[in-house]
Chains A and B, each alone.
Chain A
Amino acid sequence: MTTIQVKPQRPWKATPRDMGTTAGVILLSALASLLLVLGTGLKGKIGFMVCFILISTILQVVVGVRKFGRKALGDNIASSLIYVGAAIVFLPVFSILYMAVTKGAAGLHPSLFTETMFNASFLDPIDKGGLLHSLVGTLYLISIAMIISVPMGILTALYLTEIRGPGAGFIQFIVQAMSGVPSVVAGLFIFTSVILISPLKASGAAGALALAILMIPTVTRTSQEVLLLVPHDLREAGLALGATQWKTVATIVVPAARNGLITATILGVARIAGETAPLIFTIGGADKLNLNPFKDYQSALPFYVWKGLVLGTPESLQRAWTGILVLLVLVLSLFIAARTLGGKKMGK
């Protein structure tokens, strides 16, 4: 007896011939736009890009219409535009990363992480002084902002997912509105409500308070999403075993969502690590190392960059680029940590 094995067919997959046509279209349009750029008044990379996009779109549409008839005209134009639009979005991202790395790397030197600006000025060449004071300041800011906003954010998320009181819908609305508070307003608020009237003057702690306001909504929303992913069966099983709600939440729901909650915290930190505007009103900005966040001015990486940017001399701008590279590496590693943790399965 012979058995017939049915092979899965994928008629929508591109055949070698289709791929050949696409490659031909890309090659032809690249060649044509090169000729146009060389032969006519259009100049530079941007001229080439524009020609390339136009010619390849037209060719692709012609190929599509020949194959599928006139109905495919709109479809071809639309998909071309969507591909081009998506590609345009990524151009600035890569340009920004490239600039930050190349410009910033030029200013890296050994004493960058061991010295402060106490004995140096922003106008000095880059190899004098360093950004230790700003790095330490940023770590202080992040830690204090975390201590304030992580409990608040997670408890608010628990209110929205576990208690679901009568005001839950409204509170959700308020949290979303809070995530849109401009950073400059958060800084002004801490200036008026803390620095003007309380004994706490411009310092690391005041800056951290302003950052905490920006961090709470991020932590709340991410934690809420994670807590909603915890299977409802787990909660019901806890209650059915006679546990109180407090026991269920503390021993079942929160441990099950632990990785997600850590991700929420990291994303919140990544959100605030690069904030500059609120610090201008609250942190003061010091040039020397200050290990006491409650007294005297402190510095932070974004503030260091800001100072270099505002001064505007070649030396200070070099400092700004180097500072931004350090800041970017910090944000990127936080971001990758959040992704790796968040990618793991729930409850493991």
Chain B
Amino acid sequence: MYKIQHMTLLENKSADIPAPRVITTKPRVSDKIFRGVVTSFGMSALLILTLIGIFLAYRGVQTFHSQGWSFLTSYNWDKTVDENGNSVSSFGVGAMLIGTVLISIVALIVGVPLSIAMALFLTFYAPARLKTILVSVVDLMAAFPSVLFGLWGFFVLMPMANYWAKLIYKYLHWIPIFDAPEPFFERSPFIAGLVLAIMIIPIVTSVSREVFAQTPLDRIQAAYALGATKWGVIKAVVFPFGSSGVVGGAMLGLGRAFGETVAVYTVLNIVFAPNWHVLFGAGGNIASLIILKWGEASGDETTALLAAGFILFVMTLLVNMFANFIVRQTLKSGK
């Protein structure tokens, strides 16, 4: 009954049946606009990074021109003018480069083992409820203002670290790196490195945790089934799988350590001379140099600081890209 009625209805209105819809994969106008807008915004990150490089290089090129390679290798930072009023300044970030690397190495040596322990604890040891709280605490640490780390490092850590530095100097000064020209341990690269170590712990921990959590479960269970202890599993399965990811995380931390400014400036005694002695209170850091000299800088000194900023940018960019590449490879291999 229903069927017949339906058919007659159709027959009566045969002229109104629309032509079959054209089936196409061509995007509509709205989609074209949407895709265009989103794609152009997607490219914005690339644009910004390129612009940063271009602008800093453009402003700094004068310094690279006048100072040449000595900008990277010399230890002087003198703004001088000769009797005719021409600038004969000599700027070099050699000491700052050495200091940056030295501080970052201290930060890695202290921070990375602690981060690995933390990541292992969170992934394999902590009970589920404790884990969520502790993960939040570690993330919170990443959100602390860097000026707070500086204040805390200066007033709380420094007195303690001075004492540790004296102990290390007393018993280990026969190792060249722990030696010091004179027993002056305040505001040393060692203390700056300790502050940085605390600052890089969140990023290294979260990358390591992510990598450890990607360890194939079947391999872990196989190891347990063979009678391995927890440490046995970590040693035989987790570390071989995740070690390169941890290296990548450590390098991301290194990138952060290179670029940290305010906290290092607060706890470090910036001296324009090369110093390899970690415990001795004289060091350098490119980022701190920039804010140290910015206030009274003008003319070619400003240009030199911008050139130093360009070098810092290139250094961190290279380290970061390499680190991200390693981490991505590790995470991919787990899938």
Contact = CB atoms under 8 A, between A and B. Distances in A.
B20 interface: no
Interface in A75-91: 75, 77-79, 81-86, 88-90
B147 interface: yes
Given A96-B152, A185-B313, A324 B230 contact: no
Interface stretch (B29-37, B176-184, B215-223, B273-281): B29-37
A152 B44 contact: yes
A89 B118 contact: yes
Given A82-B125, A182-B312, A188-B290, A96 B144 contact: yes
Given A79-B230, A89-B201, A271-B143, A174 B49 contact: yes
Interface stretch (B9-17, B80-88, B255-263): B255-263
B141 A274 contact: no
A163 B156 contact: no
A90 B290 CA distance: 32
Interface string A248-291: 01000000000000000000001101111100110000000000
A344 B6 CA distance: 50
A162 to B, nearest CB: 7
Contacts of B299: none
A80 to B, nearest CB: 10
Contacts of B116: 85
B287 interface: yes
Contacts of A173: 321, 324-325, 328
Contacts of B66: none
Contacts of A165: 39, 42
Given A182-B313, A185-B312, A309 B146 contact: no
Interface in A157-186: 158-160, 162-163, 165, 167-168, 170-171, 173-186
A35 interface: no
Interface string A6-26: 000000000000000000000
Interface in B24-51: 27-28, 30-31, 33-35, 37-39, 41-46, 48-49, 51
A178 B49 contact: yes
Interface string B306-318: 1001001100110
Contacts of A335: 139-140, 143
Interface in B294-333: 294, 305-306, 309, 312-313, 316-317, 319-321, 324-325, 328
A332 B261 contact: no
A193 interface: yes
Interface residues of B, number: 91
B316 A246 contact: no
B143 A270 contact: yes
Contacts of A245: 27, 31, 34-35
B230 A188 contact: no
B117 A85 contact: yes
B150 interface: yes
Contacts of B149: 96
Interface of B: 27-28, 30-31, 33-35, 37-39, 41-46, 48-49, 51-52, 55-56, 58-59, 113-118, 120-122, 125-126, 134, 136-141, 143-152, 155-157, 160, 198, 201, 205, 229-232, 234-235, 252, 255-256, 258-262, 266, 287, 290-291, 294, 305-306, 309, 312-313, 316-317, 319-321, 324-325, 328
25 contacts: A82-B125, A89-B114, A89-B201, A89-B205, A96-B152, A156-B42, A171-B43, A177-B320, A177-B324, A178-B49, A181-B313, A182-B258, A182-B287, A185-B259, A192-B56, A193-B55, A213-B48, A245-B35, A246-B30, A246-B33, A280-B291, A309-B150, A327-B145, A328-B144, A335-B140
Given A85-B116, A244-B34, 20 more contacts: A75-B230, A79-B231, A82-B117, A86-B117, A95-B156, A159-B41, A171-B43, A173-B328, A176-B324, A178-B49, A179-B320, A181-B52, A184-B312, A245-B27, A274-B145, A276-B261, A277-B291, A305-B145, A309-B147, A331-B143
